[in-house]
């Protein structure tokens, strides 16, 4: 086929309108969310003392951190779905959850604590945390990658890594309502390891799936 | 250069608004620029420049299928050159070379430096044969026999909507096949 013919064919298809990437991402995440929710409610569930826990600011701060991560990653991944976009100027958004976490650690340091620092950091649920967050992330990661395939990222592995952050942020939001370790030190240690794992999986999968 | 970029942006806005003739003109206008850049990239990688047409077609398909990622309030040229650069790097990599492609290769194409199409491109044509029958028939009718959507619908006793769907699916699977090759 010569190029003139191809051009004519493409022009004939001009009426076709693709959905914006943000819409495709939202649909895919909504489709994936029930799977993660099912995993959460069958295996973990919300902690029984949640009503009391909500009065503890460090319990609430866990959600501020995980939701800030999810929202920042959604914004960055939509930005990166444009071929001419790079992380420059947008990557700093991903520092928002880190900043909130650092402030929370600082706040906790200034308060009198019953338990020593190491005990708070090691916590009681680290192994559950390391398994549950990555597992609940996987359906969301699959959904995010599927949605982002509508985009055209110039660096598919980077875009995949951000999709990993996004799904880890959402999964960690669920997990935070189950976990009884509320110290920001615990979050900084274990949530981060779980998130890094999902990010690596996202980068590997994205390198394949997000190439256009 | 500035004038050219503004013209492209205007044409693409009209195209997105539904003007197929403007879209056709835009694709015709960008093709020589893409071709010149593809030839330069191939030459620098020590590859025969007569393969440039495959790269040009690959870029055009990607431009078409990813045009919803262009922000209508932004200039068109940077978006176009980002896609072109990406596809050119891919093509050169597939041919076994890692090479740095400069964005200026696209931006700095001089007016008048518009080489004609060379050799008969084969990759799109070859992949066309591997598509499902319906998509292939529709694509061939429109591309090779220059039939309109309406004529194609009449020819295969399909609705115009079904022709449009087959056409779009055919183009989408063409790009997927070119990527996986």
User: Chain A: nearest CA to B126, how far in angstroms?
Assistant: 9
Query: Are B51 and B89 part of one and the same domain?
Result: yes
The position carrying tokens 């995440």 is A29
B18 exposed, middle or buried (CB, 10 Å; 0-12, 13-18, 19+)?
Answer: exposed
Query: Are B61 and B132 part of one and the same domain?
Result: no
Region for A25 from its dihedrals, namely left if φ exceeds 0, alpha if ψ lies in -120 to 50, beta otherwise? alpha
Kindly state whether residue A125 falls inside one of the protein's structural domains: yes
Kindly state whether residue A108 falls inside one of the protein's structural domains: yes
Nearest chain A residue to B69, by CA: A82
pLDDT at position B113 = 53
Quickly state the pLDDT bin for B99 (edges 50, 70, 90).
low
Kindly state whether residue A172 falls inside one of the protein's structural domains: yes
Choose one of B67, B89, B118: the last residue of a domain. B118
CB atoms under 10 Å from CB of A131, counted, come to 13
Asked if B109 is an interface residue toward chain A (Cβ–Cβ < 8 A), one would say: no
Say what percent of chain B tops pLDDT 70.
Answer: 85
User: Chain A: nearest CA to B111, how far in angstroms?
Assistant: 20
Alpha-carbon distance of B113 to A21, in angstroms, equals 36
Query: Are B29 and B66 part of one and the same domain?
Result: yes
Region for B46 from its dihedrals, namely left if φ exceeds 0, alpha if ψ lies in -120 to 50, beta otherwise? left
User: Chain A: nearest CA to B99, how far in angstroms?
Assistant: 16
Quickly state the pLDDT bin for A8 (edges 50, 70, 90).
very high
Containing structural domain, residue A162: 33-209
pLDDT of residue A208 exceeding 60, the answer is: yes
Angle, helix A21-43 to helix A57-80, in steps of 10 degrees: 150
Query: Are B93 and B128 part of one and the same domain?
Result: no
Instruction: Select the more confidently predicted residue: B91 or A131.
Output: A131
**Domain count for chain B:** 2
Kindly state whether residue A8 falls inside one of the protein's structural domains: no
pLDDT of residue A191 exceeding 90, the answer is: yes
Q: What does the mean pLDDT of chain A come to?
A: 94
Contact list, A15 vs chain B (CB under 8 Å) = 18, 20, 164
Query: Are B170 and B107 part of one and the same domain?
Result: no
Between B23, B78, B175, which is nearest A84 by CB? B78
Kindly state whether residue A15 falls inside one of the protein's structural domains: no
Query: Are B54 and B137 part of one and the same domain?
Result: no
Query: Are B142 and B72 part of one and the same domain?
Result: no
Instruction: Provide mean pLDDT across the span A118-124.
Output: 88
Kindly state whether residue A28 falls inside one of the protein's structural domains: no
Contact list, A212 vs chain B (CB under 8 Å) = 62, 65-66, 86, 175, 179
pLDDT at position B69 = 96
Quickly state the pLDDT bin for B180 (edges 50, 70, 90).
confident
Chain-chain contact of A12 with B66 (C-beta, under 8 angstroms) = no
CATH code assigned at B29? 1.10.1740
Alpha-carbon distance of B97 to B91, in angstroms, equals 9
Chain-chain contact of A5 with B143 (C-beta, under 8 angstroms) = yes
pLDDT at position B46 = 84
Q: ipTM score here?
A: 0.87
User: Chain A: nearest CA to B30, how far in angstroms?
Assistant: 11
CB atoms under 10 Å from CB of A109, counted, come to 11
pLDDT at position B124 = 84
**Domain count for chain A:** 1
Asked if B70 is an interface residue toward chain A (Cβ–Cβ < 8 A), one would say: yes
pLDDT at position B167 = 93
> How are the residues of chain A apportioned to helix, strand and coil, as percentages rounded to the nearest 5?
75, 0, 25
pLDDT of residue B16 exceeding 90, the answer is: yes
Contact list, A11 vs chain B (CB under 8 Å) = 20-21, 23-24, 27
> How are the residues of chain B apportioned to helix, strand and coil, as percentages rounded to the nearest 5?
70, 0, 30
Quickly state the pLDDT bin for A7 (edges 50, 70, 90).
very high
Query: Are B161 and B74 part of one and the same domain?
Result: no
Chain-chain contact of A84 with B31 (C-beta, under 8 angstroms) = no
Nearest chain B residue to A9, by CA: B143
Query: Are B85 and B172 part of one and the same domain?
Result: no
Containing structural domain, residue B149: 122-181
User: Chain A: nearest CA to B46, how far in angstroms?
Assistant: 24
Nearest chain A residue to B35, by CA: A3
Contact list, A4 vs chain B (CB under 8 Å) = 28, 117
Chain-chain contact of B60 with A5 (C-beta, under 8 angstroms) = no
The position carrying tokens 């055919």 is B170
CATH code assigned at B143? 1.10.10.10
Asked if B180 is an interface residue toward chain A (Cβ–Cβ < 8 A), one would say: no
Query: Are B76 and B95 part of one and the same domain?
Result: yes
Tokens standing for A97? 């959850």
Query: Are B53 and B84 part of one and the same domain?
Result: yes
Between A11, A20, A82, which is nearest B24 by CB? A11
Quickly state the pLDDT bin for A155 (edges 50, 70, 90).
very high
Which residue of A152, A153, A156 is the best one to mutate when testing the B interface, meaning the one whose CB has the most B CBs within 10 A? A152
Query: Are B30 and B97 part of one and the same domain?
Result: yes
Asked if B168 is an interface residue toward chain A (Cβ–Cβ < 8 A), one would say: yes
Structure confidence by residue, pLDDT tens digits, B54-78 = 999 999 999 999 999 999 999 999 9
């Amino acid at each position: 086929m010569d190029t003139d013919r191809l051009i004519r064919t493409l022009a004939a298809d001009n009426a076709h309108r693709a959905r914006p990437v943000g819409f495709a991402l939202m649909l895919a995440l909504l489709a994936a969310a029930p799977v993660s929710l099912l995993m959460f409610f069958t295996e973990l569930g919300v902690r029984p003392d949640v009503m009391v826990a909500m009065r503890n600011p460090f319990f609430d701060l866990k959600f501020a951190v995980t939701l800030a991560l999810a929202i920042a990653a959604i914004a960055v991944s939509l930005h990166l779905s444009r071929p001419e976009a790079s992380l420059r100027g947008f990557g700093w958004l991903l520092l928002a959850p880190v900043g909130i976490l650092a402030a929370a650690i600082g706040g906790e340091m200034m308060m009198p604590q019953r338990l020593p620092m190491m005990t708070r950091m090691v916590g009681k649920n680290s192994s559950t945390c390391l398994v549950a967050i990555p597992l609940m992330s996987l359906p969301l990661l699959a959904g995010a990658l599927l949605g982002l395939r509508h985009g055209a990222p110039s660096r598919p592995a980077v875009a995949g890594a951000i999709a990993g952050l996004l799904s880890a942020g959402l999964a960690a939001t669920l997990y935070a309502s189950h976990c009884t370790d509320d110290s920001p030190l615990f979050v900084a240690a274990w949530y981060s390891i779980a998130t890094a794992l999902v990010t690596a999986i996202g980068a590997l999968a994205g390198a394949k799936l997000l190439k256009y | 250069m500035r004038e050219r970029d503004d013209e492209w942006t205007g044409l693409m806005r009209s195209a997105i608004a539904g003007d197929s003739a403007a879209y056709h003109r835009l694709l015709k206008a960008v093709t020589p620029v893409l071709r010149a850049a593809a030839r330069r990239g191939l030459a620098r990688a020590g590859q025969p420049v007569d393969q440039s047409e495959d790269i040009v077609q690959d870029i055009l398909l990607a431009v078409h299928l990813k045009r919803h990622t262009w922000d209508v309030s932004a200039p068109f040229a940077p978006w176009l050159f980002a896609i072109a650069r990406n596809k050119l790097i891919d093509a050169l990599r597939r041919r076994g070379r890692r090479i740095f492609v400069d964005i200026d290769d696209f931006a700095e194409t001089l007016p008048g430096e518009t080489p004609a199409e060379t050799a008969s491109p084969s990759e799109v044509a070859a992949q066309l044969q591997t598509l499902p029958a319906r998509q292939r028939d529709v694509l061939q009718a429109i591309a090779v026999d220059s039939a309109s959507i309406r004529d194609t619908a009449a020819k295969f006793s399909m609705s115009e909507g079904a022709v449009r769907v087959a056409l779009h699916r055919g183009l989408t699977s063409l790009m997927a096949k070119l990527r996986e090759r």
